[in-house]
Amino acid sequence: MELKWLEDFLALQSTRNFHTAAQQRNVSQPAFSRRIQSLENWVQEALFDRESRPAKLTKAGEKFTPLAQELVRLSYQVRQDISQKPEGDRAKIRFATLNTLAQSFMPTWLKQLQPFIAIDRFHVNTGFGDLVGYLDALDKNDVDFFVCYEAPETFFIGKDRVISSLKLAEEALVPVVKPQADGSPTWWLPDCSNKTIPYLCTRTEISIWPVREHIKKNYANLEFKTVYESNIATALKSMVLEGFGVAWIPYTMVADELASGELVRAAAQETDIIVDIKIYRNPKHHDIRLNEFWQVVGAQKVLQFNYKPQKDIVKTNV
């Protein structure tokens, strides 16, 4: 049995509506229904009469309600008791973020913050799966902050939740390829309408990753064939360097290779995808050290990427 099943049960017991309860729990209605069914399979009894409108508790559901409430209460009480750690443990800050940001952004950003903060212990977790998982971690105080990309013209993270955010930086996602012997791009997207383009795809459960939408909007006439998937940006970069295809990679990770000519753009600079890097927190979790950290972060300038000069690209019909 999982704690989220009990929380799902209590949400449905309160709202008596599967759709409303699923929205409250930030999952799709089919996924919510499957989780309720999993709980019923574990209990070995039907807990809701699905024929009634609104949903009605069965006798087993009525009997189970106070037990579920107590189990949830005890679960959070146990976690709170265990989390009363020595001062040394409480001094660290817990971040949730994506694999790519953990590699390309977090080290530099934290290094720049060090002169302004007294904290020198950080924990970075990239294992919360999808966006709902990361936001749930904020709600449940499993992490202190969530650092993520946000495409400002398309997405707004946590619009249905009470969370605060600060913009830390801007980043460009750049389409890159390995050059041919003469320095020209192996695939130049504006000239590829008659080609199948091998695509190295960022594999992520975070729905706000904007590359697929960018491709649909700007390259609907092109045929992309996914030949490699990874949620590790350095792996995608290595595959591009070996000539496997086109990938959109954060500029900060490929700036040196673009400047040296090891990699070249697959499209003009003005087509880069510009995204924000933002930090999110749940304001209901009060802690002096976290409030002080938030104030320091808010006082910093937004980091801007600066394009390095690139070797001239020889555009040929490829």
Walk along the chain (318 residues) and give the pLDDT tens digit of each residue.
788 889 888 888 888 888 888 887 878 888 889 999 999 999 899 999 888 888 889 999 899 998 888 888 888 777 666 655 555 545 689 999 988 889 889 998 999 898 888 777 899 998 887 778 888 888 888 999 999 988 766 556 666 666 788 999 999 999 999 999 999 999 999 888 888 999 998 876 565 678 888 898 889 999 999 999 887 888 999 999 999 999 999 999 999 999 999 999 999 999 999 999 999 998 888 778 888 899 999 998 888 777 877 665 555 444
What's the full length of the chain, in residues?
318
- Complete domains list, the chain, with CATH: 3-82 (1.10.10.10)
C-alpha 46/C-alpha 55 separation (Å) is 12
Amino acid at 225: K
Is the Cα torsion angle 119, 121, 124, 128 positive or negative in sign? Answer: negative
C-alpha 169/C-alpha 109 separation (Å) is 9
- Residue from 214, 220, 227, 221 nearest 194 by CA: 221
C-alpha 76/C-alpha 270 separation (Å) is 50
Both structure tokens of 98: 């994506």
Which residues are CB-neighbours of 122 under 8 A, at least 6 positions away?
92, 93, 94, 95, 110
Residue 220: helix, strand or coil by DSSP? coil
Please compute Rg for the chain using Cα positions.
24
* The model's pTM: 0.65
pLDDT of residue 317: 43
Q: Measuring CA to CA, how many Å separate 224 from each of 109, 177, 187, 193, 214? A: 34, 14, 11, 10, 13
φ/ψ (deg, to 5) at 266: -100, 0
C-beta separation of 256 from 86 below 8 A: no
Amino acid at 115: P
C-alpha 113/C-alpha 293 separation (Å) is 9
Cα separation of the two ends of the chain: 56
Which residues are CB-neighbours of 34 under 8 A, at least 6 positions away?
none
C-beta separation of 69 from 10 below 8 A: yes
C-alpha 171/C-alpha 75 separation (Å) is 40
C-alpha 211/C-alpha 275 separation (Å) is 11
C-alpha 96/C-alpha 148 separation (Å) is 9
